Chain A
Amino acid sequence: MLSYYLRLALLSIKRNPILSTLMVAAIAVGIGASMTTITVNYAMGSDPVPHKSDELFAVQVDSWDPNNPFREPNIAPDQMTYMDAMALMKSAPAKRQTAMTKTFAVIEPEDRDVRPFETTGRATYGDFFQMFEPPFLYGNGWSRESDDNLEMVTVLSRETNEKLFGGDNSVGKFVRIGGRNYKVVGVLDHYRPVPKYYDVTNGPFRDPEDYYIPFNLVAAFELSRAGNTNCWKPNNEEGFQGFLNSECVWIQFWAELPTKSEQEDYLAFLNNYANQQKELGRFPRPLNNHIQSVMQWMELQGVVDDGAQVVMWLSIMFLLVCLLNTIGLLLTKFSTKAGEIGLRRALGASKRTLFLQHIIESAMIGVAGGCVGLFLAWGGLQGIGALFGNEVQHLVRLDVTMMFTAILLAIVSALLAGIYPTWRACNIQPAVQLKTQ
């Protein structure tokens, strides 16, 4: 029976080629536009570590200016001071935790024929690699002992390893970063979380860094930092030590807290710490400490761009216009079939049968529109990739989920658009139609 209906629908679609094309086009354009923008928003807001995003927490302590919040409305700083980060690393009760910052340096390859090149690095604790689980190609991360002993070790990104060692296993070899020799302990495989959730402050869609080194080396060697720094209190103490002792925030801080009780303990520790600091004359604001899970953090830091959101809603409105359009066109189309429907009703076809038959026709138009729309969405995403350049390359991919969503959205839209016209067509009085024939 279904195949018969499908054939009937196909015949009916063929009978009015212009009207049918218009309907398919309307749905296709609407689906294309909305899927393009939905995909970008979906990628921006996607969960970068689904299996762990409830266990990793960005840590916020509010050490900011008594007169102004870091950000309205009373939002604590997104980064931490050196003093606080060190205190937490020393005694905060977490399974794993890390303070980190972005740095940069020139890498000088041993091979004299390769020009030195500028790179960005992440100074972090060894816990980073177990917390965020970047995939390793060779070797491993480093231990807490390496952190404590200021060992000169590094983990290279796959790309850096390719540039320096032609992609060979370089574990145990040395690399000259910023004028100092570091021993390679690990090489990462391709790693590009979208968004780069552990450091959204310095750009949520930036590439990960080219190399990783122990955080404690930043203070030991007074390394240059590449990341964002915010200060509210003038720093009057001289030198790098003065900077380390200042109220400037420049450190991202994350903790791994798998259980509810660990999370509560950690927060209690933060509040306790803040109260102690108050006695020392720091932390002039009311208590405002938080731990934020990965998705909470993405939300708080506004990772999904406002502009992208507006365009998404506009294109959904656009889809609505396309649907209104389709409703109108279907009404037109089914009304030309009034005679046929009247005749079939007179011959004994039930309303239900006729409804089913015509709704299948709408669904077919939906499928066709969805398929064409998918192509349009693909083209639209390519266009966005070309317009916005590198930073969005990983936001403009149609995955299987999005493809199914597109087709489904198209069918649902077409069915929604089809219901009223079909209902009206089926309520035709056979007698009236037959009379005018």
Chain B
Amino acid sequence: MQIRPILSALSRNKTGAILIALQIALTMTIIVNSVFMIQDRRGQMDRASGIDEANTFIYSYSGFAEDFNEKTQIPEDLNYIRQLPGVVDAVQTNSAPLTGGGWSMGLATEQGADADGVGTAIYFVDSHGLDAFGVNLLAGRNFTPDEVIWRERSETKWPGQGIITKELASDMFDGDWQAALGKTVFIAETHPINIVGIVEKMQAPWNGWNGIERTLLFPSQLLFGSGRVMVRTEPGERDRLMREVEEGLVANYDGRLIRRVQSMEEIRENSYRNHNGMNTILTTLIVCLTVITALGIVGLASFSVNRRKKQIGTRRALGARKIDIMRYFMLENFLITSFGVIVGAGMTIGLNMLLVNALDLPKLDWYYVPAGMVVLWLIGQLAVYGPAKKACQISPALATRSV
């Protein structure tokens, strides 16, 4: 329909149109990239850790008294916790998924310093490990109690058995994870490990690491003077047991400090605190930006309606219907927005490319751009609806008044 008169009207007053188009282009660039970054973080946060997070908690202990004997105290503590009603199992470990601190080593399928290694996180557990973490054993077997050895802080040897995650197995054996079972791999260049089991999923402690799904379990109990214990409970019993375990342990023996008793849910929240914070900031930015841009459109559109009151009156007097006036303004806005979103699409992709280079952010999925265009078209149309509605209320009589 009447595109040509709109265009010629626009060309007589370019500034306002260019301002809005530019604003829309920038808004689109920011919004689309922000939404993409938010989704990227959400995706990371949605990854399962592989352990029974809802029903587990973890605490740290450090021995300080002279009579603190870790070799007897750890089994005593673990036996005490395991017999408590409501406890499924407990295990001493060096770390856990999402905690942010842990141990990593390189594993290779061949012996020697030049063999290509794959980095993996390491957890030390005893034969209760799988049960206490609540991970799912896909193939092979658990550690037997007599495979579990004591490990001093400065130990340089490694246990002969290991359980690995499916992802690590698949990375080491060219995608065929089942092939890993029973094979020997090497740690610290020369020490052989027999893979006795493969678990479905168990994350490494660092959520920003790109090898987060690569984990190796070793059958060892640690004599480091301080460490962590993971406790898994029956559903609904966790909060009660977090208190009871702490009080019970201190009552049994007070030569070691029990601290940081935290549920896995708290640990997850802390772990992704920056992700959550950043997403909140970006969301706020998006909302403010949308409101500001919409208000800007309303302001400029109202202005242009005011200025054209007489023309509108004249057109109405000459037989234009309300809907025609309405349509004029809606279409005008659509044209300006279209120009804005086309420029915006280019800028959006440009900014994404910058982010990919500077921050290793993934590439924008193609559908974000058209989706952003549609959203901005909608915002534009909604914003202009009010002023356009007002414009079509202008009475034809106005045209005759002050002339």
Contact = CB atoms under 8 A, between A and B. Distances in A.
9 contacts: A26-B295, A33-B288, A234-B188, A234-B189, A239-B154, A310-B37, A324-B26, A329-B299, A388-B277
A286 interface: no
Contact of B26 (A104, A317, A336): A317
Interface in B262-302: 273-274, 276-278, 280-282, 284-285, 288-289, 292-293, 295-296, 299-300, 302
Nearest to B295: A22
A205 to B, nearest CB: 12
Q: Sort chain A's interface into a size bin.
A: 35 or more
Nearest to B60: A118
Contacts of B37: 310
B226 interface: yes
Interface string A365-391: 000000000000000000110011100
B73 to A, nearest CB: 15
- Chain A binding site: helix, strand, loop or mixed by DSSP? helix
A324 B156 contact: no
B150 interface: no
A319 to B, nearest CB: 10
A224 B225 contact: yes
Contacts of A388: 273-274, 277
B294 to A, nearest CB: 10
Interface stretch (B2-10, B14-22, B82-90): B14-22
A106 B64 contact: yes
A89 to B, nearest CB: 23
Contacts of A412: none
A155 B232 CA distance: 41
A145 interface: no
Interface residues of B, number: 53
Contacts of B34: 314
Interface in A22-44: 22, 25-26, 29-30, 33
A238 interface: yes
Nearest to A176: B64
Contacts of A242: 154, 156
Contact of A324 (B19, B29, B285): B19
A235 interface: yes
Interface in B21-42: 22-23, 26-27, 29-30, 33-34, 37
Contacts of A79: none
A317 B16 contact: no
B139 interface: no
B299 A314 contact: no
A29 B292 contact: yes
B300 A314 contact: no
A375 to B, nearest CB: 15
Contacts of A307: 274, 278, 359
Contact of B33 (A306, A314, A315): A314
Given A29-B292, A118-B257, A311-B282, A237 B156 contact: yes
B30 A328 contact: no
A22 B295 CA distance: 8
A310 B359 contact: yes
Interface in B351-381: 355, 358-359
A320 B189 contact: no
B27 A321 contact: yes
Given A307-B274, A387-B277, A224 B153 contact: yes
B65 to A, nearest CB: 8
B308 interface: no
A335 to B, nearest CB: 7
A403 interface: no
Given A19-B299, A116-B64, A234-B190, 12 more contacts: A29-B288, A33-B285, A224-B225, A238-B154, A239-B154, A317-B30, A318-B285, A324-B19, A328-B20, A383-B280, A384-B277, A388-B273
B359 A325 contact: no
Contacts of B27: 321
6 closest pairs, A vs B, by CB?
A387-B277, A106-B64, A234-B188, A332-B303, A325-B296, A324-B23
B181 to A, nearest CB: 26
B274 A26 contact: no
Contacts of A17: none
A179 interface: yes
A3 interface: no
Interface in A299-343: 306-307, 310-311, 314-315, 317-318, 320-322, 324-325, 327-329, 331-332, 335-336
Given A315-B285, A329-B299, A322 B278 contact: no
B136 interface: no
A116 B68 CA distance: 14
A178 interface: yes
A346 to B, nearest CB: 20
B259 interface: yes
Contact of B62 (A29, A106, A240, A424): A106
B66 interface: yes
A259 interface: no
Nearest to B29: A317
A127 interface: no
B154 A240 contact: yes
B224 interface: yes
A78 interface: no
Interface string A5-27: 00000000000000100100110
Most chain B beta-carbon contacts within 10 A, residue among A33, A105, A328: A328
B277 A335 contact: no
A111 to B, nearest CB: 15
A149 interface: no
Contacts of B23: 321, 324-325, 328
B288 A328 contact: no
B307 interface: yes
A68 to B, nearest CB: 10
Contacts of B22: 324
Given A332-B300, A388-B273, A306 B358 contact: yes
A404 interface: no
Interface string B130-143: 00000000000000
Contacts of B273: 387-389
